[in-house]
Amino acid sequence: MSKSMDMQQKYRDIIERLDVNYKKIKTMRPLPAAGVAYFRNEFAISTTHNSNAIEGNTFTYDETKLLLEKGITSSARSFREHEDIVGYKKGFDFLYEALKQGTEISEDFVKRIHSFVQQGAEDAGEYRTIQNYIGDLSRVVYTPCSPREVPDKMKDYIQKVRSDSKKNKDLMARENIEWEKLFHGFAEHHIEFERIHPFTDGNGRTGRLLLTYEMISLGLVPVDIRYDERSRYYAALAAYEDKLRYSTRPESKTEKLAKLLAECELRSSDLWIKTFSDYCQADASGTEKADQAGQASASSPGGKGKGKASRGK
């Protein structure tokens, strides 16, 4: 079997396992609110560490956890890094408050997320007014659109995401979910946001939080792209530009990122099931019964549970 065929089979296996997991998770509700809150907090710490580490933040996982849980920071880290950690966690928590309110993605919503990610920065929550670059001035990897084009491109991006989100809700309601189509859509939205690069700084972290919101809005467990997956993540983003020029298959532009997101979703859903499986078995047997009144809305997947978080950097 060729390497390409082997990778395709691996992806099909992941999709099949995801489908099984999703159907199982749907039967694991309602769950204890305290357990879901614990799970979500553990996930938030992990994704806060990983998403910032991907961008070069030097806080370790343990330092991230200590800062977020105890308010204790390391004197070896800069104030900007401290703000990035605290702001990202606030942004993550904001997503769940927005979900409760049924908030749709809009330009104001995107700017609000960025204001958390870049808390303390002068231009937090504001579109850029200068030309920025991906890479550095000595080795420009990609040049986003000019600042004057940002508002119009963001309007188109928001319109596309909102339209696709409605279609995705219909997809999720079907007996046989088109998982590959779903993850190609997630990948397309994320890549388009990063191509626009609407802010001077904080685009990667803002984009990953937007991706999280898209997923939890559909009842999925959010993904945590780990620091040790950084090279693969950046390669998947770069592949879009290459395929845009040379490939005739539309899906080829997003397939690398779609596969990475599917793997991350499988990992998160496996952990969700592992975390709550004993509770559900005990509840079904009648040997343990928690007070679950009014907790259905708190029981949608929200993050990483009892397993160890990726320490990455």
Residue 213 sits at the vertex; the CA angle it makes with 71 and 174, to the nearest 5 degrees, is 145
CATH number for the domain that contains residue 153:
1.10.3290.10
What token pair was written down for 165? 């989100």
Residues that constitute the known binding site for ATP: 201-208, 233-234
Q: What is the pLDDT along the chain (313 residues), one digit of tens a residue?
A: 566 666 678 899 999 999 999 999 998 888 999 999 999 999 999 999 999 999 999 999 999 999 999 999 989 999 999 999 999 999 999 999 999 999 999 999 999 999 999 999 999 999 999 999 988 777 888 899 999 999 999 999 999 999 999 999 998 988 889 999 999 999 999 999 999 999 999 999 999 999 999 999 999 999 999 999 999 999 999 999 888 877 778 788 999 999 999 999 999 999 999 999 887 766 655 444 433 333 333 345 543 333 334 444 4
What digits encode the pLDDT tens for the residues 212-266?
999 999 999 999 999 999 999 999 999 998 888 777 787 889 999 999 999 999 9
Is 303 within a domain?
A: no
Is 8 within a domain?
A: no
- Residues 268, 204: Cα–Cα separation, whole Å: 20
Q: Residues near 137 by Cβ (< 8 Å), separated by ≥ 6? A: none
Is 103 within a domain?
A: yes
pLDDT score for 14: 96
Give the residue carrying structure tokens 């920071």. 73
Is 74 within a domain?
A: yes
At residue 141, the 3 state secondary structure works out as: strand
Is 86 within a domain?
A: yes
- Residues 72, 91: Cα–Cα separation, whole Å: 20
Is 301 within a domain?
A: no
What token pair was written down for 139? 């080795």
pLDDT score for 311: 43
pLDDT score for 150: 98
**Would you please indicate which residues are annotated as catalytic (active-site) residues?**
197
Whether the ω angle into residue 222 lies within 30 degrees of 0, i.e. cis, is no
Is 297 within a domain?
A: no
- Residues 139, 178: Cα–Cα separation, whole Å: 39
Can you give the residue range of the structural domain that contains 190?
Answer: 13-285
- Residues 128, 144: Cα–Cα separation, whole Å: 11
Total structural domains in the chain? Answer: 1
Q: What totals of helices (H) and strands (E) does the chain contain, helices first?
A: 10, 2
Is 2 within a domain?
A: no
Predicted model pTM: 0.88
pLDDT score for 256: 95
At residue 32, the 3 state secondary structure works out as: coil
